[in-house]
Structure 1
């Protein structure tokens, strides 16, 4: 049974652009891009399970998350969509395209490869647990708690987007942290499905990121043989670091696909 995801839908009759965030992200992180892209396309941005305003449920397999996303498309009567996913969201859209290729008009994969990665979120999880235990009442207190484990201010600002105030005035995590940590090995693993998705594909990577290295390209091309690879001057959060270049790359790709 798929999870009933929260989503933002700008509306329209054209083939939509569906946006899928990465680990610990949400649809809200993409609102500035939505404002730009909705001038050209119908845009749908989802909160994956255990993220944003979507339900907290056990299991973070890519089969399950692809099924959740397909259920959104079915609910909105969307037959085909351009699928854009960043990081973990990139693996979700690759999974959907492999499992249900007829539903994918094209793929845009942002700074992720269809490979298994090692552990590199221990400090992030520790920071979030610190906030959980510290029960901050304002953003300054929350940032100080996050800073005990995360040095980079940009990362702390990103993590703080997962905080919301409860009735007692305490800033609480809105993510399903227990569920995410409980299936972290699966999240870091390979996408679901088998074989290749041979539809039009754009892979965007950051030149300062290690998530899509040259050594990973042979495996990437086995799964995404039509991939056009573009490198932006950015790190892993390339859509936030280089928003104009990111939008231009996506727009140019969609123009070519839609002819």
Structure 2
């Protein structure tokens, strides 16, 4: 896989699909402890007719690098990759922490984002009591147990156990320093008061059963956007893998709609 060397990290990425497509490229950004393969279903669909770019964020998946203190640091990595690939404008899709990164890019570089999609994401971190207690206990329990508890509750009830276990194993491979440093970065993330500045067409897709970042937090963000469409699906926090076809369909309808 190709890599981009930047600020002590090597970012692994995929760049697929036709370069001469009329539509701008779609750029997918994954969330905390995940990797670019969260977007396998969406990448297979869109790369048949337009350019698709996805990456492993620093310290995740096949990318190297230490944790960074702010979401803005991760946003700069993504922008650097776009510069490296010669992408001036794109449709930007972010899941969870990836949605935080996407909003940060849209605020810092509005001319580079044609459309924005936020999947299970919010504008200001606000933990439920249960999530807060889990994070507070993070230094008192074994790291793998901490990761397992977080990933387990990310899926809606009834999701196949073997698939949950596979995601737990993949997340636990993310270095502890990266996981905990980026937890701090997410905790400090707050663009809610600036959300009205993001004027591009925006789709917010959320899982009804998301207990990590509850629907009400997303709706609070949606009210602040001047041009946002909301879709609620019957799933938890991991929409790209829980409901891949439904999410892909929602993205397709939104990204191909005429302005």
1:153-192 matches, cutoff 5 A: 153=161, 154-162=163-171, 173=173, 175-191=174-190
Q: Which residues of 2 match residues 33-112 of structure 1 at below 5 A?
A: 33-112=42-121
**CA contact under 8 A between 1:111 and 1:206: conserved in structure 2?**
yes
Alignment gaps of 5+ in structure 1: 133-145, 164-172
2:3 equivalent in structure 1:
none
C-alpha RMSD over aligned residues: 2.9
Q: Which structure: larger Rg?
A: 1
Say which SS state the counterpart of residue 231 (structure 1) adopts.
Answer: strand
Q: 1:10 to 1:127 in 2, by over 3 A?
A: farther
Partner of residue 214, structure 1:
216
TM-score (ref. length: structure 2): 0.79
1:142 is aligned to none
Greater displacement, 68-77 / 236-245: 236-245
What is the CA deviation profile of residues 40-72 of structure 1, one whole-angstrom value per residue up to 9, with x for unaligned ones?
A: 321111111111111222414111011000000
Q: For the Cα contact (< 8 Å) 1:99–1:193, is it kept in 2?
A: no
- Higher helix residue share: 2
- Equivalent-residue separation in structure 2 for 1:150 and 1:254 (angstroms): 31
Aligned partners of 2:123 and 2:191 also within 8 Å: no
| Equivalent position SS for 1:209 | coil
Superposed CA deviations along residues 15-52 of structure 1, whole A, max 9, x for unmatched, are: 11111111111012322321122113211111111111
Quick one: distance in 2 between partners of 1:17 and 1:251?
A: 11
The alignment partner of 1:92 has SS state of helix
Asked if the contact 1:62–1:191 (Cα under 8 Å) also holds between the matched residues in 2, the reply is: no
Give the gaps of 5 or more residues in structure 2. Answer: 1-5, 156-160
- Spell out the pairing of 1:109-120 with structure 2 (5 A cutoff): 109-118=118-127, 119=131
1:226 matches 2:227: yes
User: In the alignment, is the contact (CA less than 8 A) between 1:85 and 1:110 conserved in 2?
Assistant: yes
> Does the 8 Å contact 1:207/1:235 carry over to 2?
yes
Matched, 1:240 2:241: yes
